[in-house]
A and B are shown apart, each in its own frame.
Chain A
Amino acid sequence: MKQLKLPKLLIFALIFYSAIQILYGTEILNGYILHIINQSLIYVILAVSLNLINGITGQFSLGHMGFAGVGAYVSGTISTLVFKINPSSPNGMLIFIFAIIVGGLAAAVVGFLIGFPSLRLKGDYLAIVTLGFGEIIRTVFNNIDYVGGPRGLLGIPKFSNFTTIIVAAFITLVVIRNLVESSHGRAMLAVRENELAAELVGVNTTRYKVMAFVIGAFFAGIAGGLFAHLLQMAHPTQFGFIKSVEVLIMIYAGGVGSITGSTIAAFALTFLSEGLRIGIRAIADATGLPIGGEWRMVVYSLLLIFIMLFKTEGLMGTKEAKLIRLKEVQ
């Protein structure tokens, strides 16, 4: 049987974690860089979980941030409105973890509901349905006064930090990677490659499509919850269609079906978007050209176009890094 060799990835994660903590502690890394790392890690969870639906199972979801929205609002409601915790309250951390998990479960329930139309629809049609679902979720939050309506859910305590986020990202990677290599994952891949053939060899395609949506939505919900507790707010506009597309771009730039690719792309694109901020300012200062921050997104988009032109299959294709390649175990 093949399995992900956990210790190797764990050791890597621990080294990464300690290195960042030391660099931050000695003030070589400032809070800004740490904030970008935190954001990248949240995008890793979002991209990898979307990859399970779009890349591995071959469905086309455009409503991924809708799931994240469910996680953000449900966990935010639990921590802010129900328990009213703050970082100094006793058991605050426990309640926060509870809230995040409930947020993920709520998103999974919604994922289950959205998974159903995918039984009958394919490709573009499914994309439109998931897009619609994502927008419905956003509109619902917009209209519930209890969670702030159009003004957003405010005053969420800041519980997300580098430690909690990296633990969540690590768990996501391990679970989804092992899932893909399990018989369930193989069945999902079979659905992607040829649904009819999969059905003929006895794969319950319905079950695996719904499973992909439920698990993908669960982790998206976790990411949404972490995001809300990082930004200290949740706002309906954060979970719209455009935001879903941002995650979609990450999995395409990284390589559809490659978990490594999604992870790298989540980091690369988040850092690129911020790096251009500094890069464009430096160019403007050096040359005296009147180019401002608004050119950042132009360059960013151009770079994306070039990636897709010259590496159509994305940065990694369907390959995986050695670190998370699976090993035969007895």
Chain B
Amino acid sequence: MKRLSLILVLILVAASIVTAQDIKVGGVGPVTGEAATFGVSTKNGIMLAAEEWNAKGGLFNNRKVRIIFEDDKGDPAEGATVYTKLIQQDNVVAIIGTVMSKVTLAGAPIAQAAGIPMISPTSTNERVTMVGDYIYRACFIDPFQGTVGANFAFRDLGARKAAALFDIGNDYTKGLAENFRAQFLRLGGQVVAFEGHPAGATDFKAQLTKILAGKPDVLYVSDYYNDVGLIAKQARELGFKGPMVGGDGWDSPDLVKIGGTAVENGFFTNHYAAADPRPIVQEFVKKYTAKFGAEPDALATLAYDAANIMFDAIKRAGSTKGSAIRDALKTTNLNVVSGQVTFDANRNPIKSAVIIEMKAGKQVYKTTVNP
């Protein structure tokens, strides 16, 4: 009996030595609540990245990474509690999270005040990284997609005359359209029409007739998939045959159900495409599918990327000090699944977007566009 307890004590001591060397990193996502699928994808992405780093021997000095993942329920109050727990109770050196902007905005001031660097995989609200110099994100912010869409329309589709249609009641679609226009003009193109439609509209013929009178080469539609489907149908009925371009609001299987063949010759910007031939993408898709039994979505991908960006920064910092990791994050230049990533002065990523084409009712990877 005595020997048994001695062995147990030794095991415990050994275990505590091993864990003392581990580097604790917090992960946050809404694994329950209204956005639970987002949270699960995010958790999977982070866990896969951590596993890979540990298989390679850890972050630095053979120190492995240990993820402490907490659920924020998609609720800001819960988010604040979780961030406080990770920082004060678990003493994590960095945080990867969280998904929804409103929750990230409740957590970010806590991380900033404690000097703990954090990276949000998917919070697109511009205010997130404005909280302070410890706060980064891995996704591009909404307006960026408009810029990429314009580059694609001008350079790849060879359009010189463009028109834009958007929802005037929605920040996201309006922001995309405005940035599209600005970039298209900057490239030397001409914007023949810039029309807003009211929120909840189902008949867009008045706006489309006006737009098509200017004979645009390309139509930029930054709406969500349900509106896009209807707009595409009505535009084709009015005789528009040219390409249509949009943002990640198009990314839904329902787009084809609503728009049918009208969305053919349509292109949209997205964070990543599973069919992207880059080896890093293919390897990630293979590993993720094998482990979790489903193809990774944009959330899993961005979480995987965010984790890799953070681990890479900790490795380069060679330290678990918050300020050292923050400084390393600033100089990130890393090839991740969603592109080659560097950060601008506002800690937003500068990276490429992929263009997806709607072909025969399916999403087909078209190309990668650099900013």
Contact = CB atoms under 8 A, between A and B. Distances in A.
B289 interface: no
Nearest to A155: B127
Interface in B94-108: 101-102, 105-106
Nearest to B39: A294
Q: What DSSP secondary structure best describes chain A's contact surface?
A: helix
B109 A232 contact: yes
B109 A152 contact: no
A32 interface: yes
Nearest to B103: A235
Nearest to B36: A294
B102 A31 contact: no
B102 A297 contact: no
Interface string B122-154: 000101000000000000000000000000000
Interface stretch (B70-78, B220-228, B236-244, B271-279): B70-78
B31 A231 contact: no
A294 B32 contact: yes
* Contact count band on B: 20 to 34
B89 interface: yes
B81 interface: yes
B71 A294 contact: yes
Contacts of B69: 292-293
B133 to A, nearest CB: 16
Nearest to A156: B109
A293 B31 contact: yes
A30 B71 contact: no
A75 B171 CA distance: 26
A48 to B, nearest CB: 19
A186 interface: no
B77 A152 contact: no
B117 to A, nearest CB: 18
Contacts of A32: 81, 84-85, 87-89
B119 interface: no
B256 interface: no
Contacts of B171: 151
B101 A151 contact: yes
Interface in A196-247: 227, 230-233, 235, 237-238
Nearest to A295: B32
Contacts, number: 75
Contacts of A36: 81
A177 interface: no
A150 B71 CA distance: 22
A231 B87 contact: no
A71 to B, nearest CB: 15
B101 A231 contact: no
Contacts of A152: 76, 102, 105
Contact of B76 (A238, A274, A277): A238
A227 B85 contact: no
B219 interface: no
A233 B70 contact: no
Q: What DSSP secondary structure best describes chain B's contact surface?
A: helix
Contact of B80 (A231, A237, A297): A231
A158 interface: yes
Contacts of B75: 237-238
B71 A296 contact: yes
A39 B81 contact: yes
A230 to B, nearest CB: 8
A94 to B, nearest CB: 23
Contacts of B125: 151
B89 A30 contact: yes
Contacts of A292: 31, 43, 69, 71
A250 to B, nearest CB: 14
A71 B324 CA distance: 41
A272 interface: no
A235 to B, nearest CB: 5
Interface string A252-265: 00000000000000
Given A31-B88, A32-B85, A39-B77, A154 B105 contact: yes
B70 A30 contact: no
Q: Which of A32, A238, A296 has the most CB of B within 10 A?
A: A32
B317 to A, nearest CB: 24
A235 B109 CA distance: 15
Contact of A151 (B32, B106, B127): B127
A319 interface: no
B71 A151 contact: no
Contacts of A232: 106, 109
Contact of B77 (A33, A227, A293, A294): A227
Given A32-B85, A151-B102, A158 B109 contact: yes
A294 B85 contact: no
A274 B70 CA distance: 11
Interface string A128-149: 0000000000000000000000
Interface string A270-302: 000010010000000000000011101100000
Interface string A27-59: 000111101100100000000000000000000
Contact of A154 (B43, B87, B127): B127
Contacts of B102: 151-152, 233, 235, 237
Nearest to B33: A297
B73 to A, nearest CB: 8
26 contacts: A30-B88, A32-B81, A32-B84, A32-B85, A32-B87, A32-B89, A35-B81, A39-B81, A152-B76, A152-B105, A158-B109, A231-B106, A232-B106, A233-B76, A235-B102, A237-B75, A237-B76, A238-B76, A277-B71, A292-B69, A292-B71, A293-B32, A293-B70, A294-B31, A294-B32, A294-B36
CB-based closest 9 A-B pairs: A31-B88, A293-B71, A32-B88, A30-B88, A32-B89, A35-B84, A32-B85, A294-B31, A235-B102
